[in-house]
Chain A
Amino acid sequence: MKVLEEDKAEEKLTIGVLTTKMKLTIASGKGGTGKTTVSANLTSYLASMGKKVVLADLDVEEPNSALFIKSDLKNTKICNKMVPVWESENCTLCGECARVCNFNAIVALPSEILVFPELCHSCYACSELCPTNSLPMNPIKIGEIKEYEAENFSFVEGRLDLGQEMAVPLIAQTIEYTDENFKEHIKIFDAPPGTSCPVIEASRGSDFVLLITEATPFGLNDLKLAAQTMRVLKQNFGVIINRDGIGDENVQRYCQDENIPIVTKIKNDKEVAKLYSKGELIYPKISHFKNSLDEIVEFIGGIK
């Protein structure tokens, strides 16, 4: 994360930056507002304009971008987290490990030490404070990162294994992978929904966050939550109103009152929903959607 912040300080975000290494996160408080649709279409559209661009799907619990992109698998990386493994040989069963674990991931029984890997936060305290080095840290698999090559852009996906609880370490590793392998690309991050740890991880290294919402009471409620999270993170952000035409004026009014830029409004259109249901890209077929992408491109090119 620190590296990202240094990058940010050096760069001035102008139209020129859009051609090199801007990081843009597409997020939303409420699920199902169109994050993946906008991310996948925007990436493909920028690529069709000749930009070097990579899309990273950070919704590691339910990654969907791959469904909308025809691509070939190029690389798979197994993602691990480090957890302690008990070695009984030198252990004196002093119980220090269980005392120092603040996540209840270790239980010291009279005759053995039990480790619960799914509760472990990989802080290393038990391992490094053990007087006999009886809890070495070992990797266990939590998910995979896959890199794909599409027609004119690259695509990275993080996918959490079922039954794994902690999405954040995998999100961090997916971002790191994308940063390392695509230094000179525009990076588009498709974030998980919500306002808590996963979306924070997906947003805080970005140059700009686009929050997608719809003009309904749900959309407004969740936009307010997401906007406040962005403010706590001191993150620059703007809003896209999707399915414009349903609902009321309250989202627009809120954005105006709070001085949040509305980057574009995407019309409510059953044809968009139909194309989406089949996993097709929207902008090649629907011109109002393409116009909205143009507004996004123009906006992010001009962010000061």
Chain B
Amino acid sequence: MKEIVVISGKGGTGKTSLSASFAYLEGSNTLVCDCDVDAANMHLLLDADFSQKEDFFSGEVAFIDEDLCTNCGECKDVCRFDAIHVEDGQHRVDPISCEGCWYCSRVCPTKAISMNTQKAGDLFVSNIKQNSKMVHAKLGFAAENSGKLVAKVKKTGAELAKEIGVDYIITDGSPGIGCPVISSLSGANLVVLVTEATVSGLHDLQRVEKLVKTFSLKAVCIINKFDLNEKMSHDIEEYLDKEGIEVVAKLPYDETFTKALAIAKPIVEYDKNAKLSSLVIKAWKKIKQKAN
């Protein structure tokens, strides 16, 4: 079993549309993980049925029992997150600022502060198009710990993939270079970097590629909208060549992409005969070869 993680650094490059297309092509031989838990979208393209739901608990928040509290202010003094405020003479916790470090609770002389586990989101296992399954999640509003939720999605996905016995896990990664992305990348057999031929596309690709390199992961790249700026596309290819990363597809700026998205279908399902689709099909073949 091989895990293929699709990431992009920059948002809006077509990462999710492409991941969904690969999943659609491979069908029941694959399990899909959506690790963009902040703003998950894969479920829209693959008709997820949200059949199993599990609460995700992570992190803790301090709570002050006002009957026990003497308002001595010790908690406020030690808090480095500015999470304890005095309202009408009473010390209270701002749950959004609280990091759940327990320091206040440990120093409170009257043991008035308890730590409550927070529900940070929902984890789902869904049946999707092409008789396949997907693990995805929804982070609670204004909740933290998205990195941990990503790790949970990946762990659940890996167990389920083993149980069903699929050959591929396709993971739609999170944007950026921080903790959720690092979490998405763990255990990847191949990373697919999706970029676009724009100045920001190149800039973000370079940052995310360096990150992939620090984890010694094997990677390939897809350049989307390459004809938007052929010089930029050339610069990107030159950079990738230097880094020893193969370009498995160069996709043109094509309204098919947006049209498929507008009715929530993977490109290869929307019009399997479109030129764009044939390029995506070829790319998926190359990706599989590279992963094995």
A binds B: yes
Tell me the A residues contacting B by CB distance below 8 Å: 1-2, 29-33, 36, 61-62, 64, 67-68, 100, 102-103, 121-125, 128-129, 160, 162-167, 192-198, 200, 204, 216-218, 221-222, 225-226, 228-229, 231-233, 243, 246-248, 270, 273-274, 276-279
Alpha-carbon gap, A38 to B201, bound state (A): 17
Q: A61-B178, A123-B80, A217-B262 are in contact. Are A129 and B142 (CB under 8 A)?
A: no
A67 contacts B175, C-beta separation under 8 Å: no
Q: A273-B228, A274-B229 are in contact. Are A100 and B264 (CB under 8 A)?
A: no
- Shortest CB–CB separation between residue B34 and chain A, in angstroms? 12
The residue in chain A whose Cβ has the minimal distance to the Cβ of B9 is A62
Q: Enumerate chain A residues within 8 angstroms of B144, measured Cβ to Cβ.
A: 196-197
Alpha-carbon gap, A35 to B178, bound state (A): 19
B262 contacts A216, C-beta separation under 8 Å: yes
Q: Enumerate chain B residues within 8 angstroms of A123, measured Cβ to Cβ.
A: 80-81, 99, 101, 103
Q: Does B286 contact A (CB under 8 A)?
A: no
Alpha-carbon gap, A280 to B108, bound state (A): 56
- Shortest CB–CB separation between residue A201 and chain B, in angstroms? 10
The residue in chain B whose Cβ has the minimal distance to the Cβ of A36 is B200
Q: Does B11 contact A (CB under 8 A)?
A: yes
The residue in chain A whose Cβ has the minimal distance to the Cβ of B94 is A1
Q: Enumerate chain B residues within 8 angstroms of A200, measured Cβ to Cβ.
A: 96, 142
B182 contacts A228, C-beta separation under 8 Å: no
B262 contacts A277, C-beta separation under 8 Å: no
B177 contacts A160, C-beta separation under 8 Å: yes
19 A-B pairs with CB atoms under 8 Å apart are: A2-B82, A61-B176, A64-B10, A100-B102, A102-B60, A123-B80, A125-B101, A128-B103, A129-B103, A192-B176, A194-B38, A200-B96, A216-B261, A221-B40, A232-B142, A248-B262, A276-B200, A277-B225, A278-B199
Q: Enumerate chain A residues within 8 angstroms of B101, measured Cβ to Cβ.
A: 102-103, 121, 123, 125
B200 contacts A217, C-beta separation under 8 Å: no
Interface centre among B11, B102, B232 (most CB of A within 10 A): B11
Alpha-carbon gap, A194 to B96, bound state (A): 16
Q: Does B198 contact A (CB under 8 A)?
A: yes
B39 contacts A225, C-beta separation under 8 Å: yes
Q: Enumerate chain B residues within 8 angstroms of A196, measured Cβ to Cβ.
A: 38, 139, 142-144, 146
Q: Does B274 contact A (CB under 8 A)?
A: no
Q: Does B44 contact A (CB under 8 A)?
A: yes
Count B-side interface residues using an 8 Å CB cutoff: 63
B177 contacts A162, C-beta separation under 8 Å: yes
The residue in chain A whose Cβ has the minimal distance to the Cβ of B174 is A194
The residue in chain B whose Cβ has the minimal distance to the Cβ of A165 is B179
Q: Which 3 A-B pairs have the closest CB atoms?
A: A32-B12, A31-B11, A123-B101
The residue in chain A whose Cβ has the minimal distance to the Cβ of B37 is A196
Alpha-carbon gap, A148 to B16, bound state (A): 35
Q: Enumerate chain A residues within 8 angstroms of B201, measured Cβ to Cβ.
A: 277
Q: Enumerate chain A residues within 8 angstroms of B207, measured Cβ to Cβ.
A: 61-62, 162
The residue in chain B whose Cβ has the minimal distance to the Cβ of A32 is B12
Q: Does B90 contact A (CB under 8 A)?
A: no
A124 contacts B16, C-beta separation under 8 Å: no
Q: Enumerate chain B residues within 8 angstroms of A167, measured Cβ to Cβ.
A: 176, 178-179
Alpha-carbon gap, A218 to B34, bound state (A): 14
Q: Enumerate chain B residues within 8 angstroms of A163, measured Cβ to Cβ.
A: 211, 214
Alpha-carbon gap, A154 to B208, bound state (A): 28
Q: Give the residue of A100, A165, A193 whose beta carbon is less than 8 angstroms from that of B39.
A: A193
Q: Enumerate chain B residues within 8 angstroms of A273, measured Cβ to Cβ.
A: 198, 225, 228, 253
Instruction: Produce 1/0 per residue, B255-292, CB < 8 A to A.
Output: 00010011110000000000000000000000000000
Q: Does B122 contact A (CB under 8 A)?
A: no
Alpha-carbon gap, A193 to B11, bound state (A): 8
- Shortest CB–CB separation between residue A215 and chain B, in angstroms? 8
Q: Give the residue of A32, A62, A100, A217 whose beta carbon is less than 8 angstroms from that of B176.
A: A62
Q: Enumerate chain A residues within 8 angstroms of B147, measured Cβ to Cβ.
A: 165
Q: A195-B38, A218-B16 are in contact. Are A62 and B204 (CB under 8 A)?
A: yes
A31 contacts B200, C-beta separation under 8 Å: no
Alpha-carbon gap, A277 to B253, bound state (A): 12
Q: Enumerate chain A residues within 8 angstroms of B203, measured Cβ to Cβ.
A: 62, 64, 67
B214 contacts A218, C-beta separation under 8 Å: no
The residue in chain A whose Cβ has the minimal distance to the Cβ of B176 is A61
B175 contacts A62, C-beta separation under 8 Å: yes
